[in-house]
């Protein structure tokens, strides 16, 4: 084919796929689980197009329509936690945009930030969020409901960076805007504010904030269990209500397994359930009756170690940049459990692995530092807001 023929047919293919691939960037929406099956059907075609574009140098410089298709696909991949592929596609898209002032370009920058946030690069994420926000404020009227999504993202980045008062300011701005517009996304702002309050050590305020969500208002604990909401288990944990925290965490784990399979958030939920079992059993506060959970203390520790082994397996199966922090944390926690079981030799092996993984992560991004026996250091190797 001639260059012109290739570009003409390539453009036609982009148009066909774009007409059938859901658009999740031009409005303030949440994860579009209902559209995942439809997205999945188009994914092989988009993968082929990316390869052909590179092989035959089609649209080497700019193509707004191809960039927007890659953006749609990248949002889907992000929602499914295929971060490495999503990041490779969004990097291509950012090179292809011809209209750098468009909402689509802002969305691509925003998405790049969200990926950075979930793989524990909050400073890079914040830079992306602020750049996207600047584009949107130049295009949209002041106080537009769409801006609230950006304010939430900036708040999340500041939360990860430990700048909690700044995070609170941005999250409050998102609440104010969404209330003003009677937005159905207000629950997202309340939920993230609840997570921030939890990190500030204010679990009761966090619970009250979470119950401000229209969909959760006046809900009982049983109703919260049906939502699979992971934040409520964190609140119960800080409140010292281990049994209830375990119920919520187990529900969140089941919800995430169903949606995501063996991905980061499932790994994170497994770890949190293991921590809850360890803490609750240690303090003698667990009285839950469950066929799968033994309550003899040594048996409980053994069951907890099995959960951590599963967490390690998932982490090892992920791309290195995505899973290494979770892998280091799980190895460290497992070393502690094995020590409590009197298996000092095995404990030392997993501790050595954890420290080596932490050092490897430091070589990758240069932002990690470990003290061999400090659990807080290993907790900091993964994003806090995942939980």
Residue range 283-335, pLDDT digits in tens = 554 544 444 555 567 788 888 999 999 999 999 999 999 999 999 999 999 99
Q: What percent of the chain has pLDDT over 90?
A: 58
Find tokens 């295929």 and name the residue: 82
Q: What is the model's pLDDT at position 374?
A: 66
pLDDT of 322 reads 93
Structural domains of the chain ordered from first start: 1-139 (1.25.40), 142-218 (1.25.40.10), 237-387 (1.25.40.10)
C-alpha distances out from residue 275 to 129, 208, 234, 371, Å? 32, 25, 11, 20
Integer CA distances (angstroms), 208 to 61, 198, 212, 217, 298, in order: 51, 11, 6, 9, 37
- What letters, b where the CB count within 10 A reaches 16 and e where it falls short, cover 350-368? bbebbbebbeebeeeeeeb
Q: What proportion of the chain, given as a percentage, has pLDDT over 70?
A: 86
Tell me how far apart the 2 most distant CA atoms of the chain are, in Å.
74
Looking at residue 292, its pLDDT comes to 53
What pLDDT is recorded for position 222? Answer: 60
Write down the pLDDT at residue 46. Answer: 92
Radius of gyration of the chain, Cα coordinates, nearest whole angstrom: 22
- Summarised one tens digit per residue, pLDDT across range 24-41 is 666 665 556 767 888 888
Q: Give 282's DSSP letter.
A: H
Average pLDDT of the residues in 265-275: 91
Q: What is the pLDDT of residue 61?
A: 81
Token pair of 345, please? 């030799």
pLDDT above 70: residue 72: yes
Cα angle 240, 243, 245; round to 5: 65
- The mean pLDDT value of the chain amounts to 87
Helix (H) or strand (E) holding 101: none
pLDDT at residue 254, as a whole number:
87
Confidence at residue 370, expressed as pLDDT on a 0 to 100 scale: 57
Residue 157 to residue 149: CA distance in whole angstroms: 13
Asked if pLDDT for residue 372 goes beyond 70, the answer is: no
Q: Is residue 196 pLDDT above 50, yes or no?
A: yes
**Residue of higher predicted confidence among 219 and 276:** 276
Beta bridge partners of 290: 293
Short-list 85, 116, 122, CA closest to 318: 85
pLDDT digits (tens, 9 = 90+) for 248-259: 888 888 888 888
Mean pLDDT, residues 264-291 taken together: 73
Which residues are CB-neighbours of 345 under 8 A, at least 6 positions away?
none
- The tens digit of pLDDT for each residue in 126-168 reads 999 999 999 999 999 989 998 999 999 999 999 999 999 999 9
């Amino acid at each position: 084919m001639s260059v012109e023929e290739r570009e003409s047919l390539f453009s036609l293919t982009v148009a066909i796929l774009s007409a059938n691939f859901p658009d999740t960037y031009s409005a303030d929406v949440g994860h579009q689980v209902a559209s995942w099956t439809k997205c999945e059907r188009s994914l092989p075609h988009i993968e082929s197009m990316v390869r052909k574009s590179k092989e035959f140098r089609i649209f080497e410089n700019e193509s707004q329509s191809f960039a927007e298709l890659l953006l749609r696909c990248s949002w889907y991949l992000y929602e499914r936690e295929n971060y490495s592929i999503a990041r490779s596609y969004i990097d291509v898209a950012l090179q292809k945009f011809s209209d750098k002032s468009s909402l689509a370009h802002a969305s691509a920058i925003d998405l790049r930030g969200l990926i950075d946030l979930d793989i524990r690069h909050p400073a890079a994420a914040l830079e992306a969020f602020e750049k996207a926000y600047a584009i949107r404020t130049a295009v949209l009227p002041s106080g537009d409901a769409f801006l609230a999504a950006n304010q939430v993202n900036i708040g999340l980045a500041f939360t990860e960076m430990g700048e909690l008062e700044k995070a609170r300011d941005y999250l409050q701005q998102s609440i104010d805007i969404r209330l003003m517009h009677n937005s159905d996304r207000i629950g997202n702002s309340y939920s993230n504010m609840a997570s921030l309050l939890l990190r500030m050590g204010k679990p009761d305020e966090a619970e009250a904030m979470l119950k401000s969500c229209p969909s959760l208002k006046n809900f009982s604990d049983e109703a919260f269990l049906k939502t699979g909401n992971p934040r409520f288990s964190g609140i119960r944990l800080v409140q010292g209500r281990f049994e209830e925290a375990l119920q919520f965490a187990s529900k969140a784990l089941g919800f995430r397994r169903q949606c995501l399979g063996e991905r980061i958030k499932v790994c994170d939920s497994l770890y949190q359930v293991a921590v809850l079992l360890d803490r609750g059993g240690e303090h003698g506060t667990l009285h839950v009756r469950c066929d799968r959970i033994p309550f003899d203390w040594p048996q409980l520790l053994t069951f907890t170690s099995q959960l951590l082994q599963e967490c390690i397996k998932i982490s090892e199966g992920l791309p290195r940049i995505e899973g290494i922090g979770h892998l280091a944390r799980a190895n460290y926690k497992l070393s502690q459990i094995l020590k409590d079981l009197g298996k000092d030799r095995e404990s030392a092996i997993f501790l050595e692995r954890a420290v080596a993984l932490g050092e490897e992560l430091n070589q990758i991004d240069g932002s990690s530092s470990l003290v061999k026996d400090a659990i807080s250091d290993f907790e900091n190797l993964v994003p806090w807001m995942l939980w």
